[in-house]
Structure 1
């Protein structure tokens, strides 16, 4: 994995240097994070990002994480990076004493690729999937294998071909009248959390229920979503999906209705 050019890194509000970078280097993967797209100093679902960080910190260390501290560190990093538009991440690392260390990264903004996605199913489900943690070796490796096979990314599945999530995105399926989100161990992404309750307001009911690889033929279309945006799915393994322009327009309108929060 390469660090994108122009990436600005701060640890507990201080520019990264050889000394404080030892913290994430030595603490390894006992950490969690959230990823957000920032436009003009704003992001969607800021309260959900802060709640995610606090909930995971409480679960992993027993201590709360002050949301205002997170906002202050994030604002400071954005200002010092000189980026009103960016892709930002907030990482929370824990040492042996479980005291949290916060790292903020700021890099150029990223949008979901415009072209329809293709996914290769792989037999893997993330451990502790409700936490956006750094134990991502398997999903990263499966993503690389999928790319080598000519796919956009991997699709994580469990026993019996139960579909959980994409390697870096949630996935939803379209029956023709409603959207189905797989009911399986997975991370509830911020974009999914913002989008799901709003679809009904745009005439598109949604529900969660189990979806397996054997069920794919029953669905007319599919799409993926994460902090970078939303994209249609054209292929899962050998199963082809039509790109339903009406569906994607409705989903895009529902997401566009989400307000932007000042950081």
Structure 2
């Protein structure tokens, strides 16, 4: 992965402040120089910047820096991570006004798994869940524990027993007629929002409601989604899903309804 800060290749002076671990980000896929849900990614970054830094993020500059980074890497297809932080941020004086910086990472395009994955329900609630902040240690820790137990990933369940989200992904369920989106405190992903809009355009029934682990026995399919794409879930804990591929096909059609914005 190559890194660019404020549109320029990163030098070593940028890296140390970036490790302070105070900031937020978004991840996205670029295909042919275009992005699905670009406006939603910009909205997420601007909201996070206001909340964490009491500052505004200029959307035009952001888009220009991303285009510059892609051109410097000579790619039209890429995995991209855009992180907003500040080289001037001092954790000893966190209320001090600081200028913001934008770190852009350009990597190879993502590919999706074909086989259904098995995920382990674990008790965890993401801190400041509505912000896609850089405090990702618990997400990867629980994923690692799930893999040690023979699963592919972790699915989070809050203190009330409600399913919220996966380690780095949202989840949709299929009850045979409707798509069910879990109602719980979670990071609402751009892909999830695009899928909901796409399902509405297709006239497909969907609902957001609380989903407890015992309720999974009434679901016939489950699919995970994030910026890298969609993949089927074959099993959550001991609950096996037989129609995850059917839900995957439906959600792929729904995602196809989302337009690609040329950068």
- Counterpart of 2:58 in structure 1 is 66
For the Cα contact (< 8 Å) 2:170–2:226, is it kept in 1? yes
In 2, are the aligned partners of 1:234 and 1:242 still within 8 Å (CA)? Answer: yes
* CA displacement at 1:244 relative to structure 2: 4.0
| 2:16 is the alignment partner of 1:22 | yes
Q: Which residue does the alignment assign to 1:154?
A: 154
Q: Which runs of 5+ in 1 are unaligned?
A: 1-6
What corresponds to 1:135 in structure 2? 135
Aligned match of 2:226: 226
Cα distance, 1:160 vs structure 2: 3.5
Q: Secondary structure at the match of 1:20?
A: helix
Q: Paired residues, what number?
A: 255
In structure 2, the partner of 1:253 is 253
Deviation per residue, 1:149-203 (Å, 9 max, x gap): 2212110111132100000100011111101111101011010011112213324
- TM-score, normalisation: structure 2: 0.93
Match of 2:69 in 1: 77
Alpha-carbon separation, structure 1, partners of 2:218 and 2:210: 13
- Structure 2 residue aligned with 1:4: none
In the TM superposition, what is the alpha-carbon distance from 1:53 to its structure 2 partner? 0.2
Q: Please, what is the CA RMSD of the aligned residues?
A: 1.2
Instruction: Give the structure 1 partner of residue 27 of structure 2.
Output: 35
Work out the CA distance in 1 between the residues paired with 2:168 and 2:209.
20
State the secondary structure of the residue aligned to 2:215.
Answer: helix
TM-score by length of structure 1 reads 0.93
Contact 2:122 / 2:156 at 8 angstroms: preserved in 1? Answer: yes
Partner of 1:163: 163
Conserved in 2, the CA contact under 8 Å of 1:232 and 1:243?
A: no
Alignment deviations for residues 19-55 of structure 1 (CA, whole Å, 9 cap, x no partner): 2222202xx2210000000011111000000000001
State the match for 2:5 in structure 1.
11
Do the aligned partners of residues 138 and 244 (structure 1) sit closer, same or farther apart at CA in structure 2, a change above 3 Å counting? closer
> Retained in 1: the 8 A contact 2:27–2:79?
yes
Q: More displaced, 248-257 or 189-198? A: 248-257
Q: In structure 2, how many angstroms separate the alpha carbons of the residues matched to 1:154 and 1:108?
A: 25
Q: CA deviation at 1:248?
A: 2.2
What pairs with 1:75-224 in structure 2 (closer than 5 Å)? Answer: 75-94=67-86, 95-96=89-90, 97-224=97-224
